[in-house]
Amino acid sequence: MSDQIKIKKALLSVTDKDGLLPLAQTLISFGCELISTGGTAKYLSENSIKYTEISNVSGNPEAFGGRMKTISFNVESAILFNRIKDKEEASALGIEPIDMVICNFYDFKSAMKKEIDLSNLIEKIDIGGPTMIRAAAKNYEFVAAVTDVTDYSSLIGELSSSEGALSISTRKRLMAKAFNLTADYDSMIAERLDALNNTQSLRLSFKDGMEMRYGENSHQSALFYRLDSSEPSLSDIKIMNGIALSYNNVLDLQAALETISGLWKQSCVIVKHNNPCGMCASDNQRKAFELAWAGDPVSAFGGIVAFNTPVSIDTVKFLEFDASDKSKKKFIEIIAAPLFDDDALEYLKIQKNLRIIRFDDSMLKSKTEIKISNNSALVQSKDDELYSSIQVVTSNSPFIDKDTISFGLIAVRHIKSNAIALVQKIDAETFQLIGSGGGQPNRLESIEIAIKKARKNLNKEFFHNDNLILISDAFFPFEDNVDLAHRYGIKILVEPGGSIRDKFVIKRAEEFGMTVVFTGNRHFKH
């Protein structure tokens, strides 16, 4: 096996012809013979590139509407034979070696998305391409298997600097990429055909594992992979400053971005340990940040801050990074936004370790959630419906502000079950989370935690605030939940309903003159 192999003969058969011309021209400039199939041959001819018809190598014409082009003893042998052990046999058979295969497959993915019928979909399954690529990859010691358009530029550079040759390290890298491609291609086809046969299957491929600073704890290692598809991914975030992300950072960042993506106006969310501890929607970004922080300033320390609009210098000045009194400086792990004004970005970089992250809403558009654990997988559709209706079920029917309820439901669906959110409408444009409780084995404890936080934040023992609404992620199973809320002056309760004991909860609320609103949708988050 030689470290360098001269590319004397290359077979070209591509669906995606982007970037092919410069690579073909580079190969020809070093005396390489190009062999080509139907559509690719036409493309080369239109660009005045000399080539040899594949039929001259296979000894057979293209047939059956293009189903048969490259599959033949002569073509596959030229790619696959061992250049040392099989040299004499190949010569006796008249087989001349092919040193490079440049190939990408029929676009099954696009056809699949168009939901065409099975007979037409089948025609988009490539047979010859994967066969050639697997042969070239298996014989990487002597052949380069080129499958990715993004590799063309580096290959041109290496060919140009090595007089038309490629190194063994490049061929090994291309080999691994080729087998990944064929595996993913077959998985995509199998999964789609399973679905057409009413069989549920899930095949996932992840790549580009990025090493995390550490896992959930400092003694654990962790990697962050990207789902191998063209769809936007959370891993596409742009880290503009700061130290490496940890496993927990990514989980908290996801929670913050998922929460902020459902909000409107100029919104801010602060997340700690996967739960929103501060949240505000307002007509002013600085105001939203201040009120989100005020929702739980103790928990906000070391939190993840996310905005849904470009961040201004006035907003980030709230962090007081340049304060001479160090006690005034606020500590956060991450600040994320779709964009940062230049002066805001420079101000944030005062803190060298602070992760500054740009994201795009498209990264959060996945329609499914997958949890993988202990050799099993759970898959579900996303919780993207806040309520099925807003129904006042008590006789006491004050004006119910749907925007405040929607704001509270966005908060509660991102708090760990059993989840409680206390929210208020401060003015026509401003909504604030002032207390939350979650992750408890019973709902009473979550209510107590949420009320305790709100009392501390508002410096009030009792609320008696008509704008204050208590939102629950699931129904109240017993009247004691109503009793506790009433004890602290809460007048409006929002829950999905659906318990066999709903009538008893409603009756108790009636006795206290409280209002109960049913939404019809539960929002458990385990």
The answer on 312 and 189 residing in a single domain is: no
403 and 330 together in one domain: no
Q: Which of 364, 381, 411 is the last residue of a domain?
A: 364
Q: Are residues 411 and 360 in the same domain?
A: no
Q: What's the predicted TM-score (pTM) here?
A: 0.83
Q: Both tokens of residue 50?
A: 């000399």
Q: Are residues 321 and 251 in the same domain?
A: yes
Same-domain pairing of 351 and 418: no
**Would residue 278 count as lying in a domain?**
yes
pLDDT tens per residue, the chain (526 residues)?
568 999 999 999 999 999 999 999 999 999 999 999 989 999 999 999 999 999 999 888 888 888 888 889 999 999 999 999 999 999 999 999 999 999 999 888 888 888 778 888 999 999 999 999 999 999 999 999 999 999 999 999 999 999 999 999 999 999 999 999 999 999 999 999 998 899 988 888 888 889 999 999 999 999 999 988 778 899 999 999 999 999 999 999 999 999 999 899 899 999 999 999 999 999 999 999 999 999 999 999 999 999 999 999 999 999 999 999 989 999 999 999 999 999 999 999 999 999 999 999 899 888 889 988 888 989 999 999 999 999 999 998 778 899 999 999 999 999 999 999 999 999 989 999 999 999 999 999 999 999 999 988 777 766 666 778 999 999 999 999 999 999 999 999 999 999 999 999 999 999 999 999 999 999 999 8
Q: Kindly give the interhelix angle for 20-29 and 38-46, rounded to the nearest 10 degrees.
A: 80
Q: 100 pairs with which residues across the strands?
A: 10, 144
Domains of the chain: total: 3
Contact present, 409 and 402 (Cβ < 8 Å): no
Domain identity same for 174 and 294? no
Reduced to 3 states (helix: H, G, I; strand: E, B; else coil), residue 278 is: strand
Q: What is the CATH number of the domain that holds 283?
A: 3.40.140.20
Rounded CA Rg of the chain: 31
Clarify whether residues 477 and 397 are in a common domain.
yes
- Does a structural domain hold residue 382? no
Residue 378: inside a domain: no
Do residues 348 and 356 make contact, with C-beta atoms less than 8 angstroms apart? Answer: yes
* DSSP class per residue in 148-205: -GGGHHHHHHHHHHTTSEEEHHHHHHHHHHHHHHHHHHHHHHHHHHHHHTT-------
CATH for 104: 3.40.50.1380
Nearest of 130, 73, 132, 134 to residue 106 by alpha carbon: 130
Residue 524 lies in a domain: no
Distances (CA, A) of 359 to 87, 237, 243, 279, 384: 55, 5, 17, 19, 20
Residue 142 belongs to domain spanning: 4-196
